[in-house]
Amino acid sequence: MLEPVFAALGLLNNIILIIIFLLRKDRMDLVNRFGWVYFLFAIPAVYALYLVQQEQKDVRFTIFLVIFLAFLAIEALYDWILKLSFREKPDWRILTPYVALYISSNYGFVVMTWHYYSLALGIVLLVLFIIQLIANLRSHPKPAPN
């Protein structure tokens, strides 16, 4: 049961982030209004952690789910609680943990699905992650001049 839940979480994560990144360019008002919905992914992630324990699955599932939850937490902290403009005013001390968690969580969805569930679905997740990166880079705000 864990593997399909994990793969579905990875698929939905990619699709929602692609939508957010595409909207960010011209419809930031929608991202600001509905972006909090992304944090609801914590619910299936916690459920997947429960399944890891119940089904006694590989500890790597736990590691990648905790990384994903840490990414959700740091995203909430930076964007919604502290309201940092870390994208416009890059500071490596703030960006390093954020980017590391972002890449690691996406990597986990691809690799764990690929290795433990379905090669084809793992490839789909990889392609979606590449699309997500392109959408992210194309819509990323330009850094403010110092």
Tally of domains in the chain = 1
Angle, CA 45 vertex, CA 121 and CA 70 arms, to 5°: 110
In a domain, 105, yes or no: yes
In a domain, 94, yes or no: yes
Running along the chain, 146 residues long, what does each successive block of 10 average in pLDDT?
92 94 85 86 96 93 96 93 83 91 94 88 95 90 65
Residue 12's pLDDT is 96
In a domain, 146, yes or no: no
Query: Cα dihedral sign for 35, 95, 136, 122?
Result: negative
In a domain, 9, yes or no: yes
Q: For 79, which DSSP code?
A: I
In a domain, 126, yes or no: yes
Residue 146's pLDDT is 59
Question: What tokens were used for 125?
Answer: 């997740």
Q: Which domain holds residue 26?
A: 2-139
* Closest C-alpha to 59, from 114, 122, 4, 116: 116
